[in-house]
Amino acid sequence: MPLNMEKNFTWLLTALLAFASATACAESRYATIQGSPYGIGKSYMGREIAHVMSYHGAPWLERPERLQEERPDLVLAALDLKPGMTVADIGAGSGYYSSRIAERVGKTGTVYAVDVQPEMIEILKKNMAERSAANVKAVLGTVADPRLPAGTLDLALMVDVYHELEYPYEMLAAIVKALKPGGRVVFVEFRGNDPNVPIKAEHTMTEGQVRKEAAVQPLEWVKTVSDLPWQHVIVFRKK
């Protein structure tokens, strides 16, 4: 075999072995389990991952009752948004929070609205146009990568989304990579083990579970806001 072909073969073999090793390592973080009706039969750190809400559920995201049931005003107050900030709304859905964030960061700010469903992205674009939210940029992400520019975000927000991520470790790692030094990532989740929360268990998370999963990333806990009717807001900062 000519020397240059041998070098190319060696490089290709090394790359393939590295890819196989990375894939095996990623899959070893997860376990296949007997799935519940609302889960995908895959667990991470002792928690079954929930089914993703289809784009057919977009009207539910825009329901008028959400103002009282979830108090988005309290969520937004906890984010401490400022004009000019760059924010990512991960799992943005119909853009319910994206447009509200856009108002607060103003024309000098940017909101990346990320979703993995092309149909939901189209719904979001339509809603943003109707709401004149010109500083919202729709991003079609993947199940393991939000496709955000590195080191650009002041804040990343996930509202009732993280528990549905098929690859939570990889997705959160990518989100952290997109944060500026000292940037924040905020989890808004329906409170787990709370009998007053009328949500299926697979679509809830306890504060302890969120903090356990965030602890494997370069994140430090900042605060937890628990005065919402059904949810808690758990804030971390990039180390």
What CATH number has the domain bearing residue 93? 3.40.50.150
Q: Which domain holds residue 171?
A: 54-238
CA dist., res. 191 & res. 184, Å (int) = 21
Q: Is there a domain that residue 119 lies in?
A: yes
Q: Is residue 37 part of a domain?
A: no
**Which CA distances in Å does 208 have to 108, 168, 193, 229?**
36, 16, 11, 19
What pLDDT is attached to residue 24? 47
pLDDT at 19 over 80: no
Residue 45 within a domain = no
In a domain? residue 174: yes
Q: Is residue 78 part of a domain?
A: yes
* Confidence at residue 157, expressed as pLDDT on a 0 to 100 scale: 99
CB-facing half-sphere around the CA of 183: CA atoms within 13 A: 20
Q: How many domains does the chain have?
A: 1
Separation between Cα atoms, residue 233 and residue 188, nearest integer Å: 5
pLDDT digit string, tens, across residues 67-121: 999 999 999 999 999 999 999 999 999 999 999 999 999 999 999 999 999 999 9
Q: What is the pLDDT of residue 21?
A: 39
pLDDT of residue 8: 54
Instruction: Assess if residue 17 is contained within a domain.
Output: no
In a domain, 228, yes or no: yes
Q: For residue 11, is it within any domain?
A: no
Structure tokens at 221: 């806990």
